[in-house]
Amino acid sequence: MRIPSRLLTVVVILVGVACGDGGTGPSSGGAGPVDLILTTPYPDDGGLLISVAGARVTGVSSSGYEVTQSTPGDAGVTLLLRGNISAGVIARITVPNRGRLGRYRVTVLQAAARGPSYQLRNPGGYQVRLAAP
């Protein structure tokens, strides 16, 4: 049985599209750092508990805040940031492929004001996005 070349070409294209990751692929990303950029409705945040989930995280750092983390791994990482937190870059994670950032979900799980009140806040008003530096 002979498969017509046109049919074979269509099948190869469809398989390639189906196997794609929806991103731009490793050639445009590669391993490297990604910034977590915070949008907050408050000027006096003191603590944030953040989940970065969906794909592998290989490292975490923050130059402006004290950060405690779960062990980074294939499922992501959970971060506790403390300090005089303000909008902007709050941390940096390292990922194996920056071309696949669409796989990651960043969620603010809990938020609190600075001391002395440390009042808990509704995390729904916060947003964190990922961006290559």
Which structure tokens are listed for 83? 């300090």
Q: Are 111 and 128 in contact (CB under 8 A)?
A: no
Task: Give 88-104 pLDDT, tens digit per residue.
Answer: 999 999 999 999 999 99
> Looking at the 3D structure of the chain, how many domains does it have?
1
Task: Give 40-89 pLDDT, tens digit per residue.
Answer: 999 999 999 999 999 999 999 998 999 999 988 888 999 999 999 999 99
Residue 15: domain span:
5-131
Answer whether residue 118 shows pLDDT above 90: yes
Which structure tokens are listed for 55? 């794909």
DSSP output for 60-79: EE-SSSEEEEPPPBTTEEEE
Is the previous residue joined to 123 through a cis bond, with omega within 30 degrees of 0?
no
C-beta neighbour count of 38 within 10 angstroms = 22
The domain spanning residue 78 has which CATH number? 2.60.40
* Pairing verdict, β 66-69 and 127-131: unpaired
